[in-house]
Amino acid sequence: MDDIQQELEFLAVQAESPDQHVKIQKLSPAQMAALATSLGRKHGIKVKFGDFQTASTDGNTISLPLTNKENSWINRGLLDHETAHIRLTDFSHVPGQLGFRRTLWNVIEDVRIEATMPVFYPGMRSNYRALIRELRKTSPEMFAIKLDDPPDAIVAGYISLVLRALYLRQAEVADLAIEARDVFIRTFGPSLEADLYCIISKIDNVETPQDVMDLVDEIVALLEKHASEQDQAGDADTEQGQGPGGENTGQAQGSDTAEPEQGAQGQDGKNGGPGQKEDSGAADLSSAQPGDSTDLQTDLDLNNPEKSAAIKQALEAQTERGDFGDQLKEIMESGTRPGNEHVEIAVPALKADLIATGYQKQPITAHSGLVAQLSSRLRGLLQAQDLQHAKPGMTGNRIARNRLHRIKTGDPRLFLRKTPKKAVNTAVHLLLDNSSSMDENQRFHITKEVTLALVKSLENMRGINPAVTVFPAFYPYNRRNNGTAAPVARLLSHGEKSGRNMLYPGGPKGQTPLHAAVRFVASEMLGLSEPRKILVILTDGEPDCTEDAEMAIQEAGDLGIQVVCLGIEQLVETQIFPHFEIVQSVRDLPEKAFSLLERLLTRQ
């Protein structure tokens, strides 16, 4: 048994060990969006979620459908794969022509980027292994290679599985790699398998997409060489009197058990006839080089019309077989998995669309007394957190003179020490309900005044990083964004200074997609550097779907984002908000807002 077979069998056994199993991590929609945002920032790419049917990329931005937790692993695989391509693949080196060359390039480039990405993001190695294990359970036909597959698919599948098992050390496919070798040898012969393995084993030296293209050219040249040798062998045998398939019509055959030089071969070294048994295993490849196959392998391969035809069919294939990402997209699009529905997440509207739908610049002004009250109370809160208080302890640089009398009681805490500094470092995101119900009574006006006062008070506070988002940005949703996903308006982004003015909607209109808006804000906040993150929702508390809104708020909480609500005049569904206060007028704001923020900012 050759070294390759032994190594594959070792990996196959290893894959069955419970200790080696890499568990798939299923993520909530908010966790998935947050992970995508974090990866995007890390690798300098943009990731956006929306009501997409599948994943796509334009080379700079990855667009992903947001799905439920049960199917999040597919999205995670798509995200890792597309991130790797954007980071590492120069698509100018992709073969221009469709067909076999493009298929080979896809397979080898997938292996290259999967091997390289863990250098930048070590977690991707285990992510890929977990993904493949899950795919084998849910889509068992995805990797398997069968005898009746088209020849080009057998070549591509063999290369992919052997490299994944032996080079990427993905033990999860080792058994399939064993089967793929058997199918390949039975289709093309052991000589071609030995030579092909020698070429693909150069993957260690493949560092760029151009190197991948060079390897593809080498593989194609090898197949053309074998096809040519098949044809030449067939012509030579015809001239010497052999019939098709290697049957000798002009001389006696050797016995099955005879040594080659004792009659199993003719004088020209060709296969002696149909009585000769074909070896089903490849030769030892540890020191093989292209073209160095044994004479016996060559004899078994040459003058076999079926193998020659299979090689030519692979070379002439016009269909491009997609890469790993394309296969994942097909699974996502199939809709055959239970609960394969997408999860709604809002999308940011363009500034031009906001202006076109009535947004105007609003001076950031508020009643000076109101702002003074808010600023004073928040400043006092921040100052209290920043102070370093001296407390008695068993060690320190200063003796607490007023505690010397405690020596008699045996109290050892005679030294003064300063407590660690508790600096407030918090991102605060205001999410404003702009649905039609906010047009009742004074809700729209109160919300505007409350928002402007909060922005003016928070923006210059040391340790606070504010932002403002409106939902929905406009209605109907497809009026400007050519889709059904709820649009939101970024009035102020984290890290941005508002200046004197801020765009503000002209009036409320439409539905209340609170769940989609909360998920959008969660994805925006998770990548921030502030350790504490607070989402303040200003609404009358009547979302489109209470259950979805409650789930989105829980997801945000799971991500460490604290959600509070300022009810404007009323709050219909109070049970979905962990903390809330109701503001009847802007005069209530200092007390109500401070009450909410104080509980959270001082909470340890």
pLDDT at site 468:
97
Residue type, 280: S
Tokens of 501: 């003015």
d(CA 296, CA 282): 11
Question: Is the pLDDT assigned to residue 267 strictly greater than 60?
Answer: no
Please report how many Cα atoms fall inside a 13 Å half-sphere around the Cα of residue 578, on the Cβ side.
18
Q: Give the start-end residues of each E strand in 364-522.
A: 390-393, 398-399, 415-418, 426-433, 464-471, 487-492, 501-504
Residue 581: strand, helix, or coil:
strand
d(CA 357, CA 352): 9
Least confident piece of the model among 98-107, 118-127, 211-220, 378-387: 378-387
Tokens of 266: 């003719």
Tokens of 290: 């292209």
For residues 3 and 284, is the Cβ–Cβ distance under 8 A? Answer: yes
More confident site: 511 or 19:
511
State the span(s) of the chain assigned CATH 3.40.50.410: 351-381+423-601
Residue type, 30: A
Strand partners, 426: 464, 532
Per-residue confidence band for 1, with pLDDT thresholds at 50, 70 and 90:
very low
pLDDT at site 238:
57
Strand partners, 580: 565
172 Cβ contact partners less than 8 Å away, ≥ 6 residues apart: 15, 129, 132, 133, 136
Would you identify the CATH topology of the domain 351-381+423-601? Rossmann fold (3.40.50)
More confident site: 367 or 140:
140
Bond into 476 cis (ω within 30): yes
Q: Alpha helices, DSSP H only, in 495-560?
A: 514-525, 546-558
Per-residue confidence band for 314, with pLDDT thresholds at 50, 70 and 90:
very high
In angstroms, the Cα distances linking 241 to 151, 263, 561 are 30, 17, 83
Question: Is the pLDDT assigned to residue 196 strictly greater than 50?
Answer: yes
Question: Is the pLDDT assigned to residue 279 strictly greater than 50?
Answer: no
Residue range 44-68: mean pLDDT, rounded:
75
Residue range 343-365: mean pLDDT, rounded:
88
Residue type, 88: L
H or E segment at 537?
Answer: strand 532-539
Share of the chain above pLDDT 90, in %: 35
Tokens of 54: 């599948």
Q: What mean pLDDT, rounded, does the chain reach?
A: 78
